[in-house]
Structure 1
Amino acid sequence: MDLKDTVRVIVCGDDSVGKSTLIATLVKGEYIHNMQNVLPPITISHEDYSESLIDVISSTKSDYNEPLTDRRVSKYIPRKTVIIDTSPSDTVNFQKELKRSDVIWLVYSDHYTYERISLHWVPMLRSMGVNLPIVLCANKSDLLDDSTNMKAQTSDEFLPLLNEFKEIEACVRCSAKLNDNVVEAFYLCQRAITHPISPIFDSKEGNLKPSAIAALKRVFFLCDKDLDGYLNFDEFCDLHMKAFDKRATESEYRDVIKNIDRIIYPEPTADGKSRGISEDGFILLNKLYAERGRHETTWGILRSFGYTNSLSLNDKFLYPKIDVNPDSSVELSPTGYRFMVDLFVKFDKDNDGGLNEKELKNLFYPTPGIPKLWKECQFPSSIVCNEYGYVTLQGWLAQWNLTTFLDYKTTLEYLAYLGFDEGNSIKALKITKPRKKRQKQGKIYRQPIYDRNVFNCFLLGGPQSGKTSFLEAFLKGSYSDVYSPTIQPRICAKDIELRGGKQCYLILEELGELEPAILTNKSRLDQCDVICYCYDSSDPTSFQYLIDLREKYQEFLSEIPCVFVALKADLDKQQQRSDVQPETYTNDLLLNSPLHISSAWTTSLNELFIQLVDAATLPSSATAGLEKEPEPFLDENYKHLLLAGGTLSVMTLVSLWIWKSSLQSSR
């Protein structure tokens, strides 16, 4: 993920500790005498980095020893760094700059200024509500007499402060006069922002933090392509390439395993060879990086999988920007279909063609769980399952088409969680052309659509008209005689085969008690491609419900294509107790007569599904009150002209045939 473009470093400390001299030595590369008290802000860009800074970054970047190229500099250092010099006496400017800064470079130089760190500076910063990482710098190391005891003295100084103040990210001893560790101190300031240690490692406990372990486990799970619990060489190489833009070598892979095996010993295979890097080994490896101060490696891995400094997934990673016209719909692209199919096959461990509860749980392991939208759709009763209730591939793809149609952002989010790795999860989606409207005979209707494969249909009808049984027959090919009133809305999706063998997905919605609210909601109605008006042909009072419904919501329903269906056609047909009979009513609306179907008749069901898709694809053919296009009027002279032209064409063809035949006979 992209790092912050500009990092602001504020340099703090008592007077005469060498703050300005440190900055000057960093910029000029040499010690400058007679410095002014406070330097103006200094901006350092990539182009200004000295060779010494590049050497420092190269020596501390990771355990993989990959070369640092210009392309990869942004993974370790920001594009610009602004260094702000301060004076303790100028409190107004100090507080203003502190609010704008990203990291504090806190400097001391002797015992008195060292004591002031814990007695004045850190308590003061806390009282101001400052929550910034601190890099502590012990300047003027050239004044130390006994260099042999320098390491011990440094440890004695730094450890108490590190243990007491969690804000202190790193400590370093340097000398502006000798230009010793100045660049290292500056790099530690940058690294405190670009690759902070505190979110991933608890220095007091000496272990990775739980949130870091959880993130690394998710990374391991996504990289373990064959789900055997180990990273083999190819899987390790894929991770290495993703995180560091470079393939690992076999010797690097063996070295990593050797380092892990010194501490933990994965169970060897029959031939005595290691199976690879286990999950525990992967966690241990990153713990070693953190302990050695080489946590850039861990951050390189985490950032390549979309993690931010707070170890949450980046919003831009989860929800990439995508422009969708309000009149368009979103579907899975061929790339998205391929990813979902591969995902299903990968987790169907028993190869029975269905995902059981355990396999589904494993599949959604790197995610927050089954999407909330799926629970609202009563998954898995919303799709086709096998006889054991396991999710089939047919149902799996239908569920994702349903999800993408209703809320494509959920699909984008879960594509990121599930490891879609085509560079951008938007590639897994397809945006259809905007649906346009036209006016004819004073009536507005929708234009034909030819680039869509997913269609949404509302089922409307009175209680006990057979809608729920119809949904069951849609999914399972069978129905139940047990009646249970629909209270909560129900939605389901399935692929159907059209004439000519073309496949598409049909989404059926039974609105339940939300019917009045949905039928007055313009955005929901705009999502609807076709309405299926259902009535019970064996119940004489059933059709009147549809007449009353259409009259009540006429202004909302008039533009939506519709199909009338007489359900329960296997029962005795009854005369409807309404002012007008169904056939007459539909004829008056210039629509086809109701299609008589039964949930027990598979052929009639398939015919209805095709008719619903036809109405959604060619709305003018199923829009109520819209007259069909009349045939063009031809006057007598025009008819004679066409007849003469036709006769002439026929005579010409006959003449050519006779001419060719005579030529062949003369030969």
Structure 2
Amino acid sequence: MFLDSIRIVVCGDESVGKSSLISSFTRESTTDSSTGHVLPPITISRSDYEEVVRDAPPPGIHERDAKHASRNGRDSNDLLDISTYIPTTATIVDTSSSDVTSLHKELKRADVICLVYSDHYTYERISLHWMPMLRSLGVNLPVILCANKSDLSPKSAWKNQDNEEFLPLINEFKEIEAGLRCSALNRYNVVEAFYLCQRAVVYPISPLFDAIEHNLRPRAIEALKRVFFLFDADQDGFLNFNEFNELHKKCFKREATREDFDGNVNYIHSKILPEGGEGISEDGFILVHKYFAESGRHETTWIMLRANHYTNSLSLDDKFLHPHLDVNPDSSVELSPTGYKFFVDLFLTFDKDNDGGLNEVEIDNLFQPTPGIPRLWMDTNFPSSIVCNEGGYVTLQGWLAQWNLTTFLNYKTTLEYLAYLGFNEGTSIKALKVTKPRKIRQKQGKTYRSSVNDRNIFYCYVVGAPKAGKSSLLDSFLHGQYSEMYSPTIQSRLVVKDIELRGGKQCYLILEELGELESAILANKKRLDMCDVLCYTYDSSDPESFQYLVDLRKQYTNLDEIPSVFVALKADLDKQQQRSDVQPENYTRDLFLSSPLHISSSWTSSLQELFIQLVDAAKTPASVTPGLETEKAADQEKTMHLIMAGGAIGVMALVSIWMLNSMRRR
């Protein structure tokens, strides 16, 4: 998040005391500026800033967009009052204005510039020479002004002089973040000068505050609102003491006292936003941070934002949003028990009316700290893809099913939203689990998939002729009912729901009707690899329906590698002889598969049996892979051969006995 080291380049006209300032800071004897001596680069450790860590910047500092910041000028009731710290080291580089080549080289390598002047002439050169030169070099870095040799002018004149000197330059050049009067001889403000240089890099003001509008920037407000959201655990719109304390502990590594909290609440009410409530509102929280930016306290805001994984650009750290998860191409990703708990707790927190469903307002509130509802959800027609209550609100059952679907199809989306929504069990990877790789085996010259025992999500493609009843099957799976009105499926349609298997174990089944994309999907090896089982459907009351499946399997021979279940839909209607090259029962028998299940969307028990068989097929692929003879079938065939052979022998024996008896009679 932070730079390992900050490079501070000290520049300015000759004889302004650049080398003397550096020497004074390192507690060495000051250098005679008239000698033109340039010091070698000096690296300063963190411990050298301990004095500054304990205290705020002293009198004499003029900062962009700030009132006069003073050592003792901070109100004891400032929200989240902390000690300033600089969590990095610094390399200080001395320069000579006469060595232009070396000067330009160092300026381009800098992280921050300490621009020194000492009299009226060198002051005028700031706007006439130095700032235009920096811009011409393309050096867009924070600049700290140092008016050196303040020991040569009376202190009584400093205040008016500072207003006349610093503020016009600060207002004219956005790069200039602060100005202070200092003395290398007396070591006055020397430590603070280099502290400001570090702070300008570690805690930049410009991403937070708009100097022209005198307000926090939109991205800063958005980030602060998300931080407020994360710590408003009960989502009542206020930070109470416990929530305030949790924020303190995470961001500032210390407990907050009750007196601190009460003082902060009173301060907000009296000075920033008169309001009711027992805690700190979101608006009050935002306006306090505006006050911090205006009064030179913006390091407090940065510490809070960085503790919540924000970068200098006020975006969430990419490593936080997208942590690496090692996933074998033949494995799938599901929610872990920790992930289930997180999403259950999230649902319960935002179901404000306790009606067991998330309405549109509650959904919008829940996704407030995110970019919005995931794109994947929109692509799968959320919430029509899951179980909702009678009012159309998302139930807990549907909510968990949707996140299981998301994780299965694109686990990176789940990881990203876990981060946005405040998963706080360390890395968001803990919310997921990776299943064992699915292996490919060979038997009887055929390729088939190995059994799976550690998965809870299974993906099924539903294929069949138009009007076979695929859409009604999906409706019945999701809602327990279907519409009699026929509507052709154009776009692919996907639904997901948990089902109870034999023995009481639960898992999730994803059904997808491929629509007009059926040919493209079945020809795509990657899409086929995602499919755990194919559900071949036909209308048992339509004599033309089954031939569609025969033709489909002839066209895509690679379907033989996918576990398959054949289903005769609309079994409540009169069964028709299929006008096909082969009847369904014979066709499935030749593939060593079970006869088609006869299902009706109005028969609840038959539907449940179908869904269980689809999951069983996905879990034990060898038993339902087309063309792969199972051991049971082979044993049955051997038995039949033995029976037939035994029968033939018996017949021959009877014939022999009859002939022998006939001969004896003669």
TM-score between the two structures when normalised by the length of structure 1: 0.88
Matched residues in 2 for 1:96 and 1:530: separation? 64
Confirm whether residue 278 of structure 1 aligns to residue 281 of structure 2: yes
**What residue is the counterpart of 1:3 in the other structure?**
2
The alpha carbon displacement at 1:266 in A equals: 4.4
The alpha carbon displacement at 1:562 in A equals: 1.2
The alpha carbon displacement at 1:521 in A equals: 2.2
Mapping of 1:213-362 within 5 angstroms?
A: 213-264=221-272, 266-268=274-276, 275-362=278-365
CA contact (8 A) 1:66 1:246 kept: no
Matched residues in 1 for 2:598 and 2:175: separation? 75
Mapping of 1:543-582 within 5 angstroms?
A: 543-555=546-558, 557-582=559-584
CA contact (8 A) 1:29 1:179 kept: no
Amino acid in the other structure paired with 2:156: T
**What residue is the counterpart of 1:629 in the other structure?**
631
SS of the counterpart of 2:126?
helix
Confirm whether residue 19 of structure 1 aligns to residue 18 of structure 2: yes
Confirm whether residue 365 of structure 1 aligns to residue 364 of structure 2: no
Matched residues in 2 for 1:170 and 1:524: separation? 59
**What residue is the counterpart of 2:40 in the other structure?**
40
**What residue is the counterpart of 1:95 in the other structure?**
104
2:152 to 139, 143, 147: 143
The alpha carbon displacement at 1:317 in A equals: 1.8
CA contact (8 A) 1:405 1:454 kept: yes
Amino acid in the other structure paired with 1:108: Y
The alpha carbon displacement at 1:622 in A equals: 1.2
Matched residues in 2 for 1:39 and 1:387: separation? 78
**What residue is the counterpart of 1:110 in the other structure?**
119
**What residue is the counterpart of 1:403 in the other structure?**
406
**Taking structure 1 as reference, are residues 90 and 463 closer, same or farther at Cα in structure 2, changes over 3 Å only?**
farther
Q: Deviations over 1:120-169 (max 9, x none)?
A: 1112222222221112222222222x111212212221100111111112
The alpha carbon displacement at 1:539 in A equals: 1.3
**Taking structure 1 as reference, are residues 602 and 285 closer, same or farther at Cα in structure 2, changes over 3 Å only?**
same
Confirm whether residue 471 of structure 1 aligns to residue 474 of structure 2: yes
Matched residues in 2 for 1:394 and 1:19: separation? 69
CA contact (8 A) 2:385 2:494 kept: yes
CA contact (8 A) 2:55 2:83 kept: no
Mapping of 1:81-230 within 5 angstroms?
A: 81-144=90-153, 146-230=154-238
Matched residues in 2 for 1:385 and 1:50: separation? 59
Q: Deviations over 1:570-618 (max 9, x none)?
A: 1111111111111111111111111111111111111111111111111
CA contact (8 A) 2:272 2:288 kept: no
Amino acid in the other structure paired with 1:77: P
Matched residues in 2 for 1:516 and 1:86: separation? 70
Q: Deviations over 1:179-205 (max 9, x none)?
A: 221221111111111111111123444
The alpha carbon displacement at 1:490 in A equals: 0.9
CA contact (8 A) 1:558 1:623 kept: yes
Q: Deviations over 1:461-515 (max 9, x none)?
A: 1211111111111110001111111111111110000011111111111112222
**Taking structure 1 as reference, are residues 91 and 469 closer, same or farther at Cα in structure 2, changes over 3 Å only?**
farther
**What residue is the counterpart of 2:609 in the other structure?**
607
**Taking structure 1 as reference, are residues 140 and 625 closer, same or farther at Cα in structure 2, changes over 3 Å only?**
same
Confirm whether residue 77 of structure 1 aligns to residue 87 of structure 2: yes
**What residue is the counterpart of 2:60 in the other structure?**
none
**Taking structure 1 as reference, are residues 510 and 95 closer, same or farther at Cα in structure 2, changes over 3 Å only?**
farther
TM-score between the two structures when normalised by the length of structure 2: 0.88
CA contact (8 A) 1:30 1:179 kept: no
CA contact (8 A) 2:469 2:539 kept: yes
CA contact (8 A) 2:457 2:509 kept: yes
Q: Deviations over 1:354-391 (max 9, x none)?
A: 11111111111111111111111111111011111111
**What residue is the counterpart of 2:30 in the other structure?**
31
Matched residues in 1 for 2:523 and 2:44: separation? 59
Matched residues in 2 for 1:537 and 1:63: separation? 72
- Aligned-residue CA RMSD (Å): 2.2
SS of the counterpart of 1:558?
helix
Matched residues in 1 for 2:102 and 2:438: separation? 58
Confirm whether residue 593 of structure 1 aligns to residue 592 of structure 2: no
CA contact (8 A) 1:57 1:187 kept: no
Confirm whether residue 490 of structure 1 aligns to residue 493 of structure 2: yes
**Taking structure 1 as reference, are residues 632 and 538 closer, same or farther at Cα in structure 2, changes over 3 Å only?**
closer
Matched residues in 2 for 1:627 and 1:33: separation? 96
CA contact (8 A) 2:54 2:83 kept: no
Matched residues in 2 for 1:329 and 1:96: separation? 52
**Taking structure 1 as reference, are residues 90 and 593 closer, same or farther at Cα in structure 2, changes over 3 Å only?**
farther
**Taking structure 1 as reference, are residues 444 and 57 closer, same or farther at Cα in structure 2, changes over 3 Å only?**
farther
Confirm whether residue 511 of structure 1 aligns to residue 526 of structure 2: no
Matched residues in 1 for 2:589 and 2:308: separation? 59
Matched residues in 2 for 1:200 and 1:223: separation? 21
CA contact (8 A) 2:268 2:274 kept: no
The alpha carbon displacement at 1:225 in A equals: 1.8
SS of the counterpart of 2:499?
strand
**What residue is the counterpart of 1:644 in the other structure?**
none
Amino acid in the other structure paired with 1:368: P
Q: Which runs of 5+ in 2 are unaligned?
A: 58-70, 637-666
**Taking structure 1 as reference, are residues 441 and 27 closer, same or farther at Cα in structure 2, changes over 3 Å only?**
farther
Q: Deviations over 1:10-67 (max 9, x none)?
A: 2222222222222222234553457763223333333x63543544579899864557
CA contact (8 A) 2:53 2:83 kept: no
CA contact (8 A) 1:9 1:103 kept: yes
SS of the counterpart of 2:547?
helix
Amino acid in the other structure paired with 1:39: L
Amino acid in the other structure paired with 1:43: T
**What residue is the counterpart of 1:659 in the other structure?**
none
Q: Deviations over 1:216-260 (max 9, x none)?
A: 122222222222221110111111112112120101111211221
Amino acid in the other structure paired with 1:23: I
Mapping of 1:366-515 within 5 angstroms?
A: 366-515=369-518
**What residue is the counterpart of 1:663 in the other structure?**
none
Amino acid in the other structure paired with 1:559: E
SS of the counterpart of 2:503?
helix
Matched residues in 1 for 2:369 and 2:81: separation? 30
**Taking structure 1 as reference, are residues 460 and 29 closer, same or farther at Cα in structure 2, changes over 3 Å only?**
farther
Matched residues in 2 for 1:570 and 1:229: separation? 55
Matched residues in 1 for 2:362 and 2:29: separation? 63
CA contact (8 A) 1:489 1:513 kept: yes
CA contact (8 A) 1:77 1:191 kept: no
CA contact (8 A) 2:79 2:264 kept: no
Q: Larger deviation: 30-39 or 574-583?
A: 30-39
Matched residues in 1 for 2:198 and 2:437: separation? 48
CA contact (8 A) 1:56 1:184 kept: no
Q: Larger deviation: 25-34 or 446-455?
A: 25-34
Identity %: 66
SS of the counterpart of 1:132?
coil
Q: Larger deviation: 609-618 or 304-313?
A: 304-313
**Taking structure 1 as reference, are residues 210 and 11 closer, same or farther at Cα in structure 2, changes over 3 Å only?**
same
